[in-house]
Structure 1
Amino acid sequence: MEKTLSKQGETYFLNLRFLLILTVLIGNAIEPLIRQMDSVHALYLWIFTFHMPLFVFVTGYFAKGTLAGAAGRKTLLQIGMQYIIFQSLYSLLDMTIFRVQNIHHSFFAPYLLLWFLASHIGWRLLTLAMHKFNPAAQVVLSLVLGVLVGYLRLDGAWLSFSRTFVYLPFFVIGYHFSFDIFVHFFTKQKKRIAAAASALLFAIIAMYGLHMPEGWLFGSMTYMQLGHLEWYAGFYRIALYGLQFISGAAFLAWVPFRKRHITDLGRRTLYVFLLHGFMIRLAVISGLYHYMDHPLAVLMLIAGALCLAFALAQPVVRKITHPVIEPPVTWITRLERLTWSRPL
């Protein structure tokens, strides 16, 4: 039974991971249009109330068993290699082909979506550092750190410092998450209620929440950068955590428990995540968004984003890009052993 639940949990979280990457592509695709149409703005804000918190939550869940030891070290090395490769690629293309202005190219300033890689390293190291505390204490401590980091007088985007601490609670919760308890708690009736709550939240945002400052949802800025110098600014983040927990929990109702076509695609979301930025850049410089002045055009754009996600998650894409997306790191460990084995 335990093995069955473990397999069912893997299936559920793979389904969730692919649904989340769909929302990532939709959010990035419609971002240039959020000032033009209220409905698009509402969809964008609704997505941002749950998609990154849940993505970090899923990342924490799949970190079980690979956080410490040789497996954990290999994962950290691979994430570091991914960051170096794609930070270089995106920066190079921005300067040569895309000609994007006003972007600071530095390994200390993660390029747009690459903040996730920099923060992933931080989440793993911080969770390891808290291993002596019980899970509840780890969650509380991570929440406190997420609130306190906003008071620091620094650039929150530096090495994704702010987002690392802001999203740390979701990683810790995911790491300690018990699918056994969840599957028995999340009955069909509760799932219906959660789905209704998710839809209701979208309606509330569409009617009353369009003036919500997006900077708070991104988690990349300190309170000073957000224009809040008040001593009680941390309470805004606490309120935001409440919104994200509610929205994230409600979105779980849309995720199927059983194996579907998207289950296998969920194994390759990293490929979608790291490669789709090139396509979004191409769409922007092509002038495509100049024609996005009608709801039907926006629907076609969203459909295109969904098709792109399915295309980039295909096995053939993994076969071609595997050396870049999941670079081998055994040569690093061999080099280390060779270095340390030399006599002084």
Structure 2
Amino acid sequence: MASSATSQAPRPRDDGPGATARTSEGRTEATAQPPGRDARLDNAKFILIALVVVGHAIQPLTGYGPAGALYYWIYFFHMPAFILISGYLSRSFDASSNRVEKLVLSLGVPYLLFWTAHQSIYTVQRGGLPDTLSVLQPTWTLWFLVALFLWRLSVPVWQRLRWPVAIAVAVSVFGATSSLGEILSMGRVVSFLPFFVLGLSLRREHFACLDRLWVRLCSVLVMGVTALLAVPISDRLSRDWLFWRASLTDRDIDPLLPSIGIRLAFMGLALVMTIAMLALTPKRRTWYTSLGSYTLFIYLGHSVFLLLLKNTPWYDVVSGPVGLSVTVSLALALILLLCTPWVRAGMRWAVEPQATWFLRQDGKGLAGKGTGASRRAAAEREKSSV
């Protein structure tokens, strides 16, 4: 695939899977669809964030066979697919000062705020301070914000390389043969890197191939076969292979062979299932297309809710098929709740912090570059340049 960032098609907005559609006044509108915005990607983002929430919600129930199989099936591909889309939507990132400041505001500040929230819950849960208070060690779901922050900073490097995907695969596979520890979730940053770089290398014409009938038929087959495959795998294979966070040296088998072979097999499985999911995702606008713009609200909001839920008797009470059904229904209801305007309005200060709230206003940052109409005009110029 091409490694250059240039294309005849309009370049995608640098909004990533967690951004929202905004008007020139800075307010979110569910119906706003900027020119050139791909409905298929918004649909896919919503489907994937739904799988994220469902997977996290049913994790304590995985001792029940069907729940364990569903959990494994979701983890086969949902994060690799999310990361591939994130890479595609990051193609226009050029590491300019404006883009870096936006990166800090959209990922760095929410990370700090929700890291504090997670640690507060852990402190109450344990009745004392956690083992570490290092902000460099992400809590639970926040590893993705750290990874996306680092991946986006590296975009100009990957766009300069001749064979970026092959190099990323080599870095991922051989990097996993050494212990990377938990600082900045480097294990996952390195392991998932090929999917982000592959997304950077994609063009709109590649997505057009997904509309062919034989691709869609094969995609149905892939999703069905992998669902059946998840049943025996959930009983026999460690979850460490699904999380992509631990070094291959931490397993009970040789870190080179067959560990590298298994890692490559899971990488291939995730890629095939990602292609199948995108092929089966509607490319037209649906009732949930606009909700695909609110994935960061869902991603950050559900983590706090589920951490609190796990400190209640809920998972001691629910079990079996009824418990699984009720928990999945609760997860889906939570997703829709977090998309409502009033919930987003209450979370916006933390999920979409304003530059004036965090950055200095001495003319050296976004917060100091004019006020009112001048800032809006600058924002419009920025939009038209990507």
TM-score higher than 0.5 here? yes
In the alignment, does 2:155 pair up with 1:127? Answer: yes
- From 77, 88, 94, the equivalent of 1:61 is 88
Native 8 Å contact 1:56 1:171 kept in 2: yes
- The Cα of 1:126 is off from its aligned counterpart by 2.6
Native 8 Å contact 1:153 1:224 kept in 2: yes
Relative to structure 1, the CA distance from residue 304 to residue 128 in structure 2 (aligned partners, 3 Å threshold; closer, same or farther) is same
Q: Which residue of 2 aligns with 1:205?
A: 230
Relative to structure 1, the CA distance from residue 97 to residue 293 in structure 2 (aligned partners, 3 Å threshold; closer, same or farther) is closer
- The Cα of 1:329 is off from its aligned counterpart by 3.2
- From 133, 136, 142, the equivalent of 1:108 is 136
- The Cα of 1:328 is off from its aligned counterpart by 2.2
In the alignment, does 2:210 pair up with 1:181? Answer: no
Q: Which residue of 2 aligns with 1:308?
A: 334
- The Cα of 1:249 is off from its aligned counterpart by 1.6
Native 8 Å contact 1:50 1:251 kept in 2: no
Aligned Cα root-mean-square deviation (Å): 2.5
Relative to structure 1, the CA distance from residue 216 to residue 105 in structure 2 (aligned partners, 3 Å threshold; closer, same or farther) is farther
- The Cα of 1:153 is off from its aligned counterpart by 3.1
Relative to structure 1, the CA distance from residue 151 to residue 8 in structure 2 (aligned partners, 3 Å threshold; closer, same or farther) is same
Q: Which residue of 1 aligns with 2:121?
A: 93
Structure with more of its chain in helix, by fraction: 1
In the alignment, does 2:58 pair up with 1:30? Answer: yes
Relative to structure 1, the CA distance from residue 95 to residue 38 in structure 2 (aligned partners, 3 Å threshold; closer, same or farther) is same
Native 8 Å contact 2:93 2:155 kept in 1: no
Give CA deviations for 1:114-135 in whole Å, capped at 9, x if unaligned: 000111111112332233213x
Q: Which residue of 2 aligns with 1:283?
A: 309
Q: Which residue of 2 aligns with 1:341?
A: none
- The Cα of 1:195 is off from its aligned counterpart by 1.7
- 2:49, 2:127 → 1: CA distance? 27
1:160-239 aligned within 5 A = 160-232=185-257, 233-239=259-265
Q: Which residue of 2 aligns with 1:328?
A: 354
- The Cα of 1:246 is off from its aligned counterpart by 1.5
In the alignment, does 2:55 pair up with 1:10? Answer: no
Q: Percent identity?
A: 24
Q: Which residue of 1 aligns with 2:179?
A: 153
- The Cα of 1:73 is off from its aligned counterpart by 0.8
Q: Which residue of 2 aligns with 1:272?
A: 298
In the alignment, does 2:107 pair up with 1:74? Answer: no
Give CA deviations for 1:156-183 in whole Å, capped at 9, x if unaligned: x221101111111111111222222322
Q: Which amino acid aligns with 1:286?
A: T
- From 75, 78, 81, the equivalent of 1:51 is 78
Relative to structure 1, the CA distance from residue 335 to residue 274 in structure 2 (aligned partners, 3 Å threshold; closer, same or farther) is farther
Give CA deviations for 1:92-146 in whole Å, capped at 9, x if unaligned: 1221267599764421210000000111111112332233213xx1111111110
- Aligned residue for 1:337, secondary structure, equals coil
- The Cα of 1:260 is off from its aligned counterpart by 0.8
Native 8 Å contact 1:77 1:329 kept in 2: no
- 1:113, 1:23 → 2: CA distance? 14
> Which moves more between the two structures, 165-174 or 324-333?
324-333
Structure 2 unaligned segments of length 5 or more: list them. Answer: 1-7, 13-33, 366-386
